Amino acid sequence: MVNLLLVIVLVLAVLVLIGFVLGYNKIRRADIRVAEALSGIDVELTRRAALIPSLVHTVQTFATHEKGILDNVTNARAALTSATSGKSVAQRSAAEQRLDSALASLLALGQSYPQLNSSNNFLNLQENLADTENKLAFARQYYNDAAATLNRLLTTIPWMFVAPLTGVAEREYYQVPR
């Protein structure tokens, strides 16, 4: 009788240990997926920021007296580059919003300068920016899906009992700049 009870306790202990290991690994994998998704956003933000100097140079060729707009775009690009090296999702989003606003002003110059709007270089840069925006939207969605999966794991039974031991915290969602 004691041997049977000892075997049952031992089997239960092994099952709990296996459950802990599986839960720990599942949460860590989800955390890594979130980090990879955030780096995907950074790649697209960096790609977009890399297009800015060419765009500024092209506009500068046609609209030399629009220095305020060009400086604003350059400063917004620098802020975005700085934000992608940090860990805060909110800082990335705020810097992206600032760059979006500056780019809107810059691209609006195409309406004021017909020769700029007909420039192949300007049109090509606009097309590249639009492509990057599409990729960035996908990267944001992928990140938010990964964050939702991780957050769900951290707050649902049975994983919530393992979560404090993993050192993984809930992740904030990426807010789309407006």
Write down the pLDDT at residue 123: 82
CB distance 140 to 174 below 8 Å: yes
SS (H, E, C) 60-97: HHHCCCCHHHHHHHHHHHHHHHHHHCCCCHHHHHHHHH
Write down the pLDDT at residue 178: 64
Considering only residues 51 and 32, tell me which one the structure prediction assigns the higher pLDDT.
Answer: 32
Q: Is the pLDDT of residue 120 over 90?
A: no
Query: Is 33-166 in CATH node 1.20.1440.20?
Result: yes
Among 43, 88, 46, 51, CA closest to 73: 51
In this prediction, residues 105-130 reach a mean pLDDT of 80
Mean pLDDT, rounded, of the chain:
87
Tokens of 134: 């599409």
pLDDT band, residue 31 (cuts 50/70/90): very high
Q: Is the pLDDT of residue 63 over 80?
A: no
The per-type count for the chain, helices as H runs and strands as E runs, is 6, 0
Cut 0.85: pTM above it: no
- CA-CA distance, 77 to 133, in Å (whole number)? 15
What percentage of the chain carries pLDDT values higher than 70?
Answer: 96
Write down the pLDDT at residue 145: 96
Write down the pLDDT at residue 144: 95
